[in-house]
């Protein structure tokens, strides 16, 4: 329930954000947690949670970084029925994955290129579970 409320809050926050703006701390936090959980790099969930601030250094305020931490943890531990498609989508965003793992010294993908982590370009699939 807590996770669903957090995702709902993230949706409403991002609904008012311009697409070229940096990704909201909530969405970026979930993305970083999923990058680690899904094995998109060699950065583990524990390492991502411990060092996520380095991955986005200088782009977010201290208050935003504190808010982001809970979403990194949620992304790193979420388990939905559609987790495989969620992970496939996350890992396919090569330049965004590189943008968060490269500052941590993690293994980059493809040609190692990075790109801005904007609202428009950061894609996150909503998770679902069977209630039956």
The mean of the pLDDT values for the chain is 88
Q: What is the pLDDT of residue 20?
A: 79
The string of pLDDT tens digits covering residues 55-106 is: 999 999 999 999 999 999 999 999 999 999 999 999 999 999 999 999 999 9
The string of pLDDT tens digits covering residues 113-124 is: 999 999 998 999
Virtual torsion, Cα 35, 37, 39, 44, nearest 10 deg = 90
In whole angstroms, give the CA distance from residue 60 to residue 83. 28
The string of pLDDT tens digits covering residues 24-45 is: 999 999 999 999 999 999 999 9
Q: What is the pLDDT of residue 6?
A: 46
- Could you tell me the pTM of the whole model? 0.84
């Amino acid at each position: 329930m807590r996770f669903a409320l957090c995702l709902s809050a993230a949706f409403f926050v991002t609904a008012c954000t311009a697409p070229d703006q940096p990704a909201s701390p909530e969405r970026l936090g979930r993305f970083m947690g999923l990058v680690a959980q899904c094995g998109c790099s060699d950065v583990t969930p524990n390492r991502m949670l411990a060092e996520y601030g380095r991955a986005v250094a200088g782009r977010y305020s201290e208050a935003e970084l504190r808010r982001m931490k809970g979403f990194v943890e949620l992304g790193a531990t979420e388990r939905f029925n559609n987790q495989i498609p969620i992970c496939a989508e996350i890992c396919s965003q090569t330049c965004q994955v590189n943008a968060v793992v490269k500052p941590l010294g993690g293994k980059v993908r493809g040609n190692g290129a990075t790109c801005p982590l904007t609202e428009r370009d950061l894609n996150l699939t909503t998770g679902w579970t069977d209630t039956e």
